[in-house]
Amino acid sequence: MSYVRLVDVTKRFGAVTAVDRLNLSIAKGECFSLLGPSGCGKTTTLRMLAGFEDLDEGEIHVGERLLSSKKSGYYLPPEKRDFGMVFQAFAVWPHLSVYENVAFPLRIRKTPTPELAKRVNDALLHTNLLDMARRSPADLSGGGKQRVALARALAINPDVMLLDEPLSSLDPHLREEMRFEIKDLQRQYGFSIIYVTHDQAEAMALSDRILVMRLGVVQQVDTPLNVYTRPANKFVFSFIGLSNFLDVEGDGVNFVTSRGALPLPVAPPPELGRGRVCLAGRPSEIEFADTGLPGMVARKSFLGESIDYQIQVGEQNVRVQKGRHSRGPEQGENCHLRFTRPFWYPAE
């Protein structure tokens, strides 16, 4: 059952439409990510949810509450929406202790002292900060400061947590650690998460569902598995995970190059017709075979758990990744490629 609802939400900045008629339903307790490149409208959407930006069209509802409606001329200010919010910047106050940082929004709300102490201690306990309550945030690592920001958001007991690139300023190891901690906190508290990121791995690891945006327009809303394995279009395929695109010219059976035609191991679906089309494949879903699309190994790189190949096919390059124990051709050798899960798109 939907809990957060956006109905025909639109936001313009001058002649630019940042978010274009967005319709979205998010369930209570769901972790929902907005994913896309810079400038796609994901942060603008989050700011409209938070109340930092008003709508140009549409409505926003949470549960039975109307938060914003351009048609009705209604706008609930941010401080009355009772959302927990965590941003890319830690935004902790260095002159306040960890305890007082977490207590600050409750003091603003004039929460009675016994209830304030209980909420702050619970939030510190669940973020592993209870032993550091009297310390200065300056004594904490980046991950510790981000935990303070999370604890402060948890202390108000939100139904919805808005997270805008909260881990992007952390190093890779801390980012991975904090992903699991955020997911654990969601399970313990039961709030909904609306998470903005351009990091695919973050979105895949955390989300129940993902919305992929491009230039303010929804491209696909689905589970992480379906977004990866059943991309709605070429943009989603290119944005999620590593991808290869080969421009195929000819009859769909031969791949035309300046040096002649190369036989294709797969054929495009009939509905794409004849002529120029685009063959796409994941690097991990291309095999070396005895027969197939001929090429030459232009580069071979050891990446730890995998080996990364760049294969020159005609005038184009194909990236292939195999496990480090897999046998494959050496740099400079000829090879043949077989696409195990080919995707086809119209030529642009």
Asked if residue 228 lies in contact with residue 241, where contact means CB atoms within 8 angstroms, the answer is yes
Residue 286: count other Cβ atoms within 10 Å of its Cβ: 24
**Structure tokens that stand for 108 in this block:** 């603003």
15-30 in b/e form (b: 16+ CB < 10 A) is: eebbbbebebebeeeb
What is the rounded distance in angstroms from the CA atom of residue 55 to the CA atom of residue 199? 27
pLDDT value of residue 251: 63
pLDDT value of residue 33: 96
What is the rounded distance in angstroms from the CA atom of residue 67 to the CA atom of residue 197? 24
What is the rounded distance in angstroms from the CA atom of residue 224 to the CA atom of residue 140? 33
pLDDT value of residue 253: 62
pLDDT value of residue 262: 76
Pick the CATH number of 252-346 from 2.60.40.1180, 2.40.50.140, 2.120.10.30, 2.160.10.10: 2.40.50.140
What are the 10-residue block averages of pLDDT along the chain, 348 residues in total?
92 96 95 94 95 95 94 92 85 90 92 94 90 91 87 90 85 82 86 91 92 96 96 95 86 67 78 81 95 93 94 93 92 94 88
Phi, psi of 148 (to 5 degrees): -60, -45
Q: How far apart, in Å, are the Cα atoms of 72 and each of 68, 110, 299?
A: 8, 31, 61
Collapsing DSSP to helix, strand or coil, 150 comes out as helix
pLDDT value of residue 254: 66
Query: 99: Cβ–Cβ under 8 A, 6 or more apart, which residues?
Result: 120, 124, 133, 134
What is the rounded distance in angstroms from the CA atom of residue 92 to the CA atom of residue 71? 37
H or E segment and range at residue 19: strand 16-27
By CB neighbour count within 10 A (0-12 exposed, 13-18 middle, 19+ buried), where does 289 fall? middle
Asked if residue 268 lies in contact with residue 344, where contact means CB atoms within 8 angstroms, the answer is yes
Sequential DSSP letters for 88-107: SS----TTS-HHHHHHHHHH
Collapsing DSSP to helix, strand or coil, 297 comes out as strand
**Structure tokens that stand for 192 in this block:** 């909904």
Query: 336: Cβ–Cβ under 8 A, 6 or more apart, which residues?
Result: 265, 288, 289, 290, 291, 292, 293, 294, 295
pLDDT value of residue 176: 84
Residue 259: count other Cβ atoms within 10 Å of its Cβ: 8
Q: Where are the domains of the chain?
A: 252-346
